[in-house]
Amino acid sequence: MSHHVEDTRVIAEDAPQYNATLVRREDHSAELASFWVRLDGDAIPFEAGQYMTAGVFADGKLWQRPYSVASAPAVAGTEGYELYVRLVPVIRFTTLLWRLREGARMRLIGPKGRFMLEPDDHRTHLYVSTGTGIAPFLAMIRQTQLAGSPRKTVVLHGVSFAEELGYREILESLERDATYPLRYVPTVSRPLDPRNAAWAGRTGRVEAVVGDVCHDLRLSADRTVVYICGNPEMILNVEGALMGRGFPEFHVKKELYWPKGKAPGEVAAATGS
């Protein structure tokens, strides 16, 4: 995330607050990591797709920022809540979080948000995201897998550099697993950059390739529901591409990380794509 943009998901003052502990961290790249935070008491129920506001104590105050939970609700009491975070040095919260060691005290607030799966929806689910916007989709996939009710799923994830394809191994493994009907479609937006020299997969921004993905995988408007998570510029562009293929607006569900009206450069810097 960039210091130029603010998350539109509200940090509610009256939301329940819970003492918590950082129990695990996994680095995906130099700037991307997953942090598992576990409550001191009983786990608080949430729905896959919702977000929690994480708090870090420093300089006599609580630094906060909201993040979608990437882990399944079913494991909150054992593994905790998994947050997928990009390190942005100008964002004080992320620099503080990166310095924490396992066992550090934290705070969780929430859950909040309405970006959730509809019950008993048997249509193909197309999940479109860029950067860390993939987090809520991991929660949805994991929860439906644990519940024994997987949904036919296509994951379209765009990043600037292949090294930023967080959860790539997990999604590729699920794609090979016959028990979960998932297609994983990663795409890299800067194919000519030296950092992508070894990338041989799909290239282009998600808004540019979503139409081809729908065509290649035969995702028809009447049998597909679309969930999009990321900055509003990307969401509007993906929506436009889908509308051109006959998708009605009510078949598209959205989670906006940043407000409209920001310059494209600011949004791109925030999403990392």
Average pLDDT, consecutive stretches of 10 residues, N- to C-terminus, the chain (273 residues)? 36 75 95 97 96 94 95 97 94 94 96 94 97 97 96 97 96 92 97 96 97 96 96 93 91 73 38 37
Q: Of 3, 8, 1, 2, which Cα lies nearest the Cα of 255?
A: 8
d(CA 261, CA 144): 35
Please tell me the predicted confidence (pLDDT) of residue 13. 54
- N-to-C CA span, the chain: 11
Residues facing 202 on adjacent strands: 187
Contact 206, 229 (CB under 8 A): no
Evaluate the CA torsion angle 101, 103, 105, 110 in order and state its sign.
positive
- Cα–Cα distance for residue pair 271/252, rounded to 1 Å: 20
* Protein fold of 124-271: Rossmann fold (3.40.50)
* CATH placement of domain 17-112: 2.40.30.10
In the chain, where are the structural domains located? 17-112, 124-271
Enumerate the β-bridge partners of residue 61. Answer: 58
The one-letter amino acid at 35 = F
Tokens representing residue 138 in the block? 């991991």
8 Å CB contact between 48 and 143:
yes
